[in-house]
């Protein structure tokens, strides 16, 4: 037996005080296998020991919520006995170390979370963040991650329909790769991970176990340093073709009443799946590790339990269903082995070579895992020191061109063209819109999905930034004609042991909570990713919100492309000209200072619901919410996506044109309205007490602001495409 020294404890990502707690819980010294299991279950990724206290404050219930946080994924009711199952998770550290496999297995893992619950996956999304484009690692990381996402999703046959790609120097040494999956199931066929019954067969299915991914979960609970490349063996290796077989086999078995509970082997592999199933059911579980299918020789119990080899599941079966299930998995050319049973011991018991190699009370791994109330400090709103009058003079046209040709605002066709967005034939609106739209197969209804983040706002003032990103996601769903239902979140932060970083987390979460409660937009699933940083340099706080909404009739769905000549353009919501923390100041003047724009939740809700009413009454041709870059970028995107341009009048009240056109005031939309529908639309807005302005009209060929600029929309499109073409 290997001696457990302080160094061994440290290598397992545990604190000395945590090791002391382990000894008290066991009433003895753990062996190396048991230490490894505690390491896996007590890390941030599995235990949420630094975040659990605060996550409890999020709103998780709603009229359409079937299952909130605590399962593999969240479940919502969309009517007609249909349910949508969805979740987003991070795979940041693995993707930085080995970008292709890190990203690919991130996709594979989130897909298993969804089909484990009985849903056929229907869509994938992603939120990927890279360092500065000129950083020496960015190009290869970008290529590897995009290839990994596309390679896995395309091979398994699930469309990648939406996402975001952003560049910021804060991610130079720690990129973010967040993957989201959405599945469709029947409400009466949802499967859960809670074990039930004694002496029930515990079955291992899928791929064989290898040595890849060992300590993967623990790696996610530590900062990088200069030796991070040495952690490549902790990155899993994915096989999308095997995952496809596993998915079909599981879904086939789910058609009858054979399964009691099911859990994918994700982070911490066989350890987490067995512990979570048994602890939720308040049972024990006994595993015979001699029977675990291994693809490498002489694997130890330690390696078997901590391997994160992909495409594996753990299933607890009803009595007498073993042979039936085995036939199904054999048909799909997958391993099917009974490796254990449920017990009444409330312990995890591990046998190997007819000996008990490990025995741990399950509550020690689950309910008695550490929960920390870490110190945190509040970030105050700072007064702006920016004197806009002293900024270098620039033409509006030049500013527009520079932003549209920048890395963050260029057309990302180079990326999205690598993803199959149309496989399964139910993608009604793909990437490039406010939200993607997926038709519910053979039905008139559809769901809208979007992912959003805003690290600059959150860094400046985490509370406001948290509120804003929920609102932006909500607006994106509204803009395509969907009623927002629920969100999943992926909370990417630095080291929680730093009070400033912990403060960013706590306040961002408080902002998310406030917006979700006010908008009736509950959180049904999610993930926390801490320790994103290298050599004590943390990333900016980056909460990512994935939202799902319902479009009751697909024919009423909306997009942002201008449709007709001489339509009226209405600006919904007040414009104050907020430029602090704006893309304009960042891209044009290299200034990233000040406060984020104020969030008025009353206006957000009222404006959004009014826009949705107008859409549902077939009174609008196109809709686009105003976000990064302000009004002028919104109008440019509407023009470039169509055969029509705009002619915009100068504002009558706000005389500073840069504030008016580039300001990032929230809660705003642009609507394209037929002139014969204008009175009806205005009446709705007036009745709902919504502020609006008539800002101009559509025209052929040109993007025009009165006496300021006039650009051919074909030229505008060319400008918008040049960055990626030249990168």
Q: Identify whether 461 is a catalytic site residue.
A: no
Q: What are phi and psi of 484, to 5 degrees?
A: -60, 135
Tell me how far the alpha carbon of residue 470 is from its chain's centroid: 13
Alpha helices in 519-629 (DSSP H): 583-589, 601-616
Cβ neighbours of residue 5 closer than 8 Å, sequence gap 6 or more: none
- CA 595 to CA 600: how far, in whole Å? 15
Burial of 20 (0-12, 13-18, 19+ CB in 10 A): exposed
Q: Give Dmax over CA atoms of the chain in angstroms.
A: 86
CA angle 113, 115, 117 (to 5 degrees): 80
Establish how many alpha carbons lie within 13 A of residue 59's alpha carbon, considering only the half-sphere containing its beta carbon: 21
Residue 646 tokens read as 């705009």
Single out the catalytic residue among 12, 45, 54, 93. 45
Buried b or exposed e, range 686-713, using 16+ CB within 10 angstroms: eeeebbbbebbbbbeebbbbeeebebeb
Closest by alpha carbon to 291, among 352, 229, 211? 352
Q: For residues 385, 386, 390 and 396, what is the CA-based torsion angle, rounded to 10 degrees? A: 180
Look-up of token digits 């007064």: 383
Under 8 Å between Cβ of 541 and 411: no
Question: Both tokens of residue 502?
Answer: 């912990």
Q: Other CB atoms closer than 10 Å to residue 244's CB: what's the count?
A: 17
SS3 340: strand
> Which of 132, 135, 44 lies closest to 90 in space, CA to CA?
44
Residue of 12, 54, 91, 93 marked catalytic: 91
Known catalytic residue at 45: yes
Q: Show which residues are catalytic.
A: 45, 91
């Amino acid at each position: 037996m290997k001696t457990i020294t302080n160094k061994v404890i440290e290598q397992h990502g545990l604190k000395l005080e945590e090791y002391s707690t382990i000894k008290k819980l066991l009433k003895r010294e753990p062996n190396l296998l048991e230490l490894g299991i505690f390491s896996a279950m007590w890390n941030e990724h599995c235990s949420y020991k630094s975040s659990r206290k605060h996550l409890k404050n999020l709103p998780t219930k709603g009229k359409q919520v079937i299952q909130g946080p605590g399962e593999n994924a969240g479940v919502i009711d969309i009517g007609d006995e249909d349910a949508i199952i969805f979740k987003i998770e991070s795979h940041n550290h693995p993707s930085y170390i080995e970008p292709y496999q890190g990203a690919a297995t991130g996709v594979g893992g989130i897909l298993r979370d969804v089909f484990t619950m009985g849903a056929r996956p229907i869509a994938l999304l992603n939120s990927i963040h890279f360092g500065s484009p000129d950083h020496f690692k960015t190009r290869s990381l970008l290529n590897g991650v995009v290839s990994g996402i596309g390679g896995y999703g395309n091979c398994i046959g699930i469309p990648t329909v939406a996402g975001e790609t952003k560049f910021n120097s804060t991610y130079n040494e720690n990129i973010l790769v967040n993957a989201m999956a959405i599945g469709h199931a029947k409400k009466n066929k949802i499967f859960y991970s809670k074990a039930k019954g004694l002496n029930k067969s515990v079955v291992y299915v899928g791929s064989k176990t290898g040595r890849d991914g060992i300590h993967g979960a623990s790696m996610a609970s530590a900062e990088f340093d200069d030796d991070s490349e040495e952690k490549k063996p902790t990155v899993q290796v994915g096989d999308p073709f095997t995952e496809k077989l596993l998915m079909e086999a599981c879904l086939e078995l789910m058609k009858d009443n054979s399964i009691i509970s099911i859990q994918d082997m994700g982070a911490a592999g066989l350890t987490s799946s067995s512990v979570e199933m048994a602890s939720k059911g308040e049972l024990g579980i006994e595993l015979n590790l001699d029977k675990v299918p291994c693809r490498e020789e002489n694997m130890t119990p330690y390696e078997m339990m901590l391997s994160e080899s992909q495409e594996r599941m753990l299933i607890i079966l009803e009595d007498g269903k073993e042979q039936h299930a085995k036939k199904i998995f054999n048909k799909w050319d997958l391993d099917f082995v009974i490796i254990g049973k449920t017990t009444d011991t409330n312990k995890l018991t591990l046998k190997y070579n007819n000996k008990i190699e490990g025995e741990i009370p399950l509550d020690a791994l689950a309910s008695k895992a550490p929960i920390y109330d870490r110190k945190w400090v509040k970030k105050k709103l700072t007064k702006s020191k920016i004197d806009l009058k002293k900024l270098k003079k620039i033409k509006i046209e030049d500013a527009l061109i520079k932003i549209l040709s920048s890395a963050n605002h260029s057309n990302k066709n180079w990326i999205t063209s690598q993803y199959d967005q149309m496989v399964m034939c139910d993608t009604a609106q793909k990437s490039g819109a406010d939200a993607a739209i997926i038709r519910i197969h053979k039905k008139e209804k559809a769901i809208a999905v979007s992912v959003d983040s805003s690290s600059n706002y959150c860094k400046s003032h985490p509370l406001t930034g948290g509120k804003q990103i929920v609102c932006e996601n909500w607006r994106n769903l509204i803009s395509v004609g969907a009623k927002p239902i629920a969100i999943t979140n992926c909370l990417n932060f630095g080291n929680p042991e730093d009070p400033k970083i912990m403060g960013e987390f706590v306040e961002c979460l408080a902002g998310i909570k406030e917006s979700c409660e006010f908008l009736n937009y509950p959180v049904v699933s999610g993930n926390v990713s801490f320790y994103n940083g290298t050599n004590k340099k943390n990333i900016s706080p980056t909460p990512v919100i994935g939202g799902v909404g319902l479009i009751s009739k697909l024919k009423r769905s909306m997009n942002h492309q201008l449709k007709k000549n001489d339509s009226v353009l209405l600006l919904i919501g007040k414009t104050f000209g907020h430029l602090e923390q704006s893309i304009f100041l960042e891209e044009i003047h290299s200034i990233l200072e000040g406060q984020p724009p104020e969030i008025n939740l009353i206006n957000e809700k009222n404006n959004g619901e009014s826009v949705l009413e107008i859409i549902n009454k077939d009174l609008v041709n196109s809709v686009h919410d105003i976000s990064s870059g302000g009004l002028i970028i919104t109008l440019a995107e509407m023009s470039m996506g169509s055969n029509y341009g705009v002619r915009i009048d100068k504002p009558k009240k706000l005389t500073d044109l840069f504030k008016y056109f580039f300001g990032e005031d929230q809660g705003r939309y642009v609507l394209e309205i037929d002139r014969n529908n204008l009175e009806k639309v205005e009446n709705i807005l007036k009745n709902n007490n919504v502020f609006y302005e008539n800002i101009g009209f559509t025209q052929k060929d040109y993007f025009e602001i009165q006496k300021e600029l006039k650009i051919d929309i074909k030229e505008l499109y060319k400008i918008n495409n040049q960055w990626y073409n030249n990168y």
